[in-house]
Structure 1
Amino acid sequence: MSKVRFGLIGIGNMGKGHTNYFAKNEVAGGELTAIVDTNPERLEWVRQQYGDRFQLFDNLDSFFASQAFDAVLICTPHYDHPDLAIAAFEHGYHVLVEKPAGVYTKKVREMNEAAARSGKAFGIMYNQRTNPLYQKLRDLVSSGELGEIRRTNWIITNWYRSQSYYDSGGWRATWAGEGGGVLLNQDPHQLDLWQWTIGMMPKRVRAFCHFGKYRNIEVEDDVTAYVEYENGATGLFVTTTGEAPGTNRFEVSGDRGKIVIEDGKLTFWRLRVPESEFNRDFKGGFGAPECWKCEIPVGSSEGSQHKGITQNFVDHILHGTPLLAPGEEGIKGLTLSNAMHLSTWTDNWVDLPIDEDLYYEKLQERIRNSSYKKETRKLDHMDVSGTH
């Protein structure tokens, strides 16, 4: 294979963005050849913008049967990601799926199992993994420069959304339409980076989600979660769509100092000797380890973002390059958001791995009472219109 041909499922905002960089030939060795969407107006938009450059389909049966591509890029509503990925694997295609991996881990686990059976490439659009800030943090942690992790704190409250935003689509901010609020719509990248940069998941979670606190919506728009790790470290995750101005500050403390990512900068308060060593040897009563404030250079770029993940996916298929964002890892960030929901719903601690059957049961209760009534559809009649 000298080139990877892509078939795009869903031509909403995200689908249009992917189409744009493919149309500009910005992915070496990658080519968009087909698009499927059940909304005829969106297919007409493609015709107006790109003429007959792509094969267009209005149903999945014809799309999958066409063999007009080697890999699919899924850009549909959250609930449909796993089913579409499973179908693509069963038809012999590689799969690159937009975030989040799905709405609940029970279904995402089925998707991961289908990927393993297929032997095909599987990636997820965690484009923030291309950001040099988070890549550098991951490097400093994994190399031991920060020492053993002791605490993580992420305040991510710059997601301001007005009521008019939520009113723009009946599916928005509903249990049946989106399957969650700020955790599932705005925060999947941060929940992924939270565990990816430090290289570990919590062992248990206690969360307090507020549903419709600031807006007239069904789902969470304000969350405070406390987590504990196997090594004794603790963490805090605070997020909302109802505050202005907001904050985006990620702080990781270790035995050798503290790293903060904020305002596009990475600052390392580095201890000259590890805190544990200083504490062992110091006999002077009051005192603290000598600390150096280091501005770590990471460049001004935010990384190659979406097309960078797509390029990496193509390079993986053509040249065996390791995946920056393996699709199987999508379940990790989703586990964190599912655990936060479940902890709130049960008013209790949630151990990881979560009770997936209990989460599914609790979610179904909310879907049944949702203002958005989503029909149960067979795959060949699924709404594969784009979203976001």
Structure 2
Amino acid sequence: MDKVRFGIIGIGNMGSSHALSLIHDIQGAELTAVCDTNPKRLQWAKEHLPSPVLAFGNPDDFLASRAMDAVLIATPHYNHPTLAVQAFENGYHVLIEKPAGVYTKAVREMNRAAETSGKLFGIMYNQRTNPLYAKLRELVLSGELGEIRRTNWIITNWYRSQSYYDSGGWRATWAGEGGGVLLNQDPHQLDLWQWTTGMMPARIRAFCRFGKYRNIEVEDDVTAYVEYDNGATGLFVTTTGEAPGTNRFELTGDRGKIVVEDGKLTFWRLRVPEPQFNAEFTGGFGQPECWKCEIPVSEGEGSQHKGILRNFTNAILHGEPLLAPGEEGIHGLTLSNAMHLSSWTEDWVELPLDEDLYHAKLQEKIEASTFRKNSGDGKTLDVSGTH
């Protein structure tokens, strides 16, 4: 094989962008087919994609065509696991958009299907290509920061107006999207939170506010407190209702503090680890000597979506390790599911997550969702490119 033939299910905003990237920018890749249930998107494909690219109006015909080697899924959230499983069963490599799905129970089934298929599985966690977070992960996992004591991420620069939510009846509904800021805007941060530290919390207590700032069903303001097995604590604060917003990720270890903000990575490095200083110092007031270090990081935001596409293509062709294995999508989703469940039950949520309880609570929300009431049974598979 000298080229990977890609087919895309869902050619909305992201799917169409990926289509053009595959055509113009990804060496070793070839776009051969697209699929969408929306006739307008199929018309767009006819007008903007080369004539050899096949267009299908339903996923069954698309997957039966054998017109591709790999399937890229860019549909509404609920369909990611369902379509991925179907693609694996038909013998395709699979790359999914974020999030991995809406609830971990379905995502776990998708991961099992990937494992048994023997095919490659990736997720579009394009922020893993960002040099800032790649360098942060390197510093943390190498031990430069020492043992993690605290993680704080304030990510409130997701401002969305009411008109944004009003642009589609499926937006910000339990039946249509399955969540709000945690599932739509924050999947990258929830992934990076655990990816850069190599740590998942042991338990979570979250306070989600549903429709606090906008007329929507789902959460638009979240404050979550987490505890880790080693005694470290963490805080995750996010909203779509504040302007101007903040994006500041701060990690404290026993060897100092690292802050990622405004495109910079700053390391306040202790000359002597805090536990050693505390054991040896006898002067009463005092603290370890600290050096403020501006860590050099490559300029720009990395290769982003094209970088993931390039990496996935090279993984198929040349065995290059995946930067964002699809199986890892369950980690960030576990965090958002746990935050929802903690708010719904007004209690701590222990990890591993009680997936059956979360799924049952989610079904209650779906049953009462305005999108479900306005669109029939709410269970029809929709592979239109809506995001």
Length-normalised TM-score, structure 1: 0.98
Q: Who is 1:4 aligned against?
A: 4
Partner secondary structure for residue 226 of structure 1: strand
Q: Does 1:228 align with 2:227?
A: yes
CA distance in 2, matches of 1:184, 1:50: 30
Partner secondary structure for residue 336 of structure 2: helix
Query: Residues 159-170 of structure 1 correspond to what in structure 2 (within 5 A)?
Result: 159-170=158-169
Identical columns (%): 76
Query: Residues 100-179 of structure 1 correspond to what in structure 2 (within 5 A)?
Result: 100-179=99-178
Please tell me whether the aligned partners of residues 371 and 378 of structure 2 are also in contact (alpha carbons under 8 angstroms): no
CA RMSD of aligned residues (A): 1.1
Q: Who is 1:287 aligned against?
A: 286
Q: Who is 1:382 aligned against?
A: 381
Q: Deviations over 1:310-361 (max 9, x none)?
A: 1111111111111100000000000000000000000000000110000000
CA distance in 1, matches of 2:378, 2:67: 25
**Amino acid in structure 2 at the alignment position of 1:5:** R
Does 90-99 or 54-63 show the bigger shift? 54-63
**Amino acid in structure 2 at the alignment position of 1:106:** K
CA distance in 1, matches of 2:229, 2:377: 40
Q: Who is 1:14 aligned against?
A: 14
Runs (4+) off by over 3 Å: 374-378
CA distance in 1, matches of 2:84, 2:116: 13
Q: Who is 2:86 aligned against?
A: 87
**Amino acid in structure 2 at the alignment position of 1:221:** D
**Amino acid in structure 2 at the alignment position of 1:165:** Y
- Residues 38, 182 of structure 1: CA spacing in aligned structure 2 closer, same or farther, 3 A cutoff? same
**Amino acid in structure 2 at the alignment position of 1:16:** S
CA distance in 1, matches of 2:173, 2:382: 17
**Amino acid in structure 2 at the alignment position of 1:233:** A
Q: CA deviation at 1:382?
A: 2.7
CA distance in 1, matches of 2:5, 2:164: 35
CA distance in 2, matches of 1:311, 1:32: 13
Q: CA deviation at 1:47?
A: 1.2
CA distance in 1, matches of 2:304, 2:205: 32
Please tell me whether the aligned partners of residues 35 and 59 of structure 2 are also in contact (alpha carbons under 8 angstroms): yes
Q: Deviations over 1:54-84 (max 9, x none)?
A: 1111112211111110000000000000000
CA distance in 1, matches of 2:220, 2:156: 10
Q: CA deviation at 1:31?
A: 1.1
Q: Who is 2:33 aligned against?
A: 34
Partner secondary structure for residue 63 of structure 1: helix
Q: CA deviation at 1:377?
A: 8.1
Unaligned runs of 5+ in 2: none
Q: Deviations over 1:33-55 (max 9, x none)?
A: 10011111111111111241411
Unaligned runs of 5+ in 1: none
Please tell me whether the aligned partners of residues 175 and 378 of structure 2 are also in contact (alpha carbons under 8 angstroms): no
Query: Residues 164-243 of structure 1 correspond to what in structure 2 (within 5 A)?
Result: 164-243=163-242
Q: Deviations over 1:3-57 (max 9, x none)?
A: 1110000010001110121121x11211111001111111111111124141111
Q: CA deviation at 1:144?
A: 0.5
Q: Who is 1:344 aligned against?
A: 343
CA distance in 1, matches of 2:91, 2:22: 22
Q: Deviations over 1:76-105 (max 9, x none)?
A: 000000000000000000000000000000
CA distance in 2, matches of 1:376, 1:295: 55
Q: Who is 1:247 aligned against?
A: 246
Q: Who is 1:308 aligned against?
A: 307
Q: Does 1:318 align with 2:317?
A: yes
Partner secondary structure for residue 32 of structure 2: strand
Q: Who is 1:361 aligned against?
A: 360
Q: Who is 1:69 aligned against?
A: 68
**Amino acid in structure 2 at the alignment position of 1:254:** G
